[in-house]
């Protein structure tokens, strides 16, 4: 059990922010995303089972926990810039950057769950399309289609606001 605890700690230290963003893409809430991450880690600790690829297993567990939370909650996805871009504090935010990031967060909130999840996990969490396909259990073609469709919608929303 000590060895499992150390493995989980190492994975959390290395991938904790990505796991959080994975859950945030589904829930749209920082608090619910944290709950999903905690639920996934607790589930592994509780069972004591160490799957072959613990990292991949935890990403799938976090995503599934986030989906379960959304099924239980009657929660509308409304992303906040503080949750999405928390790890980018070094940008030296000013009012203009703050406004742009808020527009991006609002735009992401209007996308379908698949588009939002794919864009956030790819661009913000740094996951590859192949990793996303494995995580979501979907063909890579679906992942790339959701990404490109979502980016196109975001671009159109931003242009409309600028227009």
- What pLDDT, in 10s, does the model give residues 43-61? 988 888 777 788 888 888 9
DSSP letter for 120, please. Answer: I
In the chain, domain spans: 2-162
The upper half-sphere exposure of residue 90, i.e. CA atoms within 13 Å in the direction of its Cβ, equals: 1
Q: So what's the pLDDT on residue 26?
A: 85
Q: So what's the pLDDT on residue 65?
A: 94
Calculate Rg over the CA atoms of the chain. Answer: 16
Flag whether pLDDT at 121 surpasses 60. yes
Q: Mean pLDDT lowest for which of 11-25, 27-41, 64-78, 138-152?
A: 64-78
Kindly give the residue spans of alpha helices, DSSP state H, lying in 1-53: 2-27, 30-47
Work out the angle at residue 102's Cα, subtended by the Cα atoms of residues 85 and 107, and round it to the nearest 5 degrees: 100
pLDDT band at 13; cut points 50, 70, 90? very high
Considering the segment(s) 2-162 as one domain, its CATH architecture is Up-down Bundle (1.20)
User: What span, in angstroms and rounded, lies between the C-alpha atoms of 24 and 105?
Assistant: 12
């Amino acid at each position: 059990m000590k060895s499992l605890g150390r493995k989980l700690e190492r994975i959390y230290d290395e991938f904790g922010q990505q796991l959080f963003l994975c859950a945030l893409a589904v829930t749209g809430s920082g608090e619910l995303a944290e709950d999903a991450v905690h639920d996934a880690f607790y589930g592994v600790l509780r069972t004591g089972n160490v799957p072959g690829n613990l990292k991949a297993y935890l990403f799938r567990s976090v995503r599934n926990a986030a989906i379960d939370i959304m099924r239980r909650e009657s929660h509308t996805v409304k992303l906040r810039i503080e949750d999405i871009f928390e790890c980018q504090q070094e940008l030296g935010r000013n009012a203009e950057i703050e406004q742009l990031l808020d527009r991006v967060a609002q735009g992401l909130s209007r996308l379908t769950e698949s588009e939002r999840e794919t864009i956030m996990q790819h661009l913000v969490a740094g996951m590859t399309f192949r990793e996303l396909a494995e995580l979501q259990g979907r063909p890579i073609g679906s992942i790339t289609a959701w990404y490109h469709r979502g980016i196109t919608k975001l671009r159109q929303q931003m242009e409309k606001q600028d227009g």
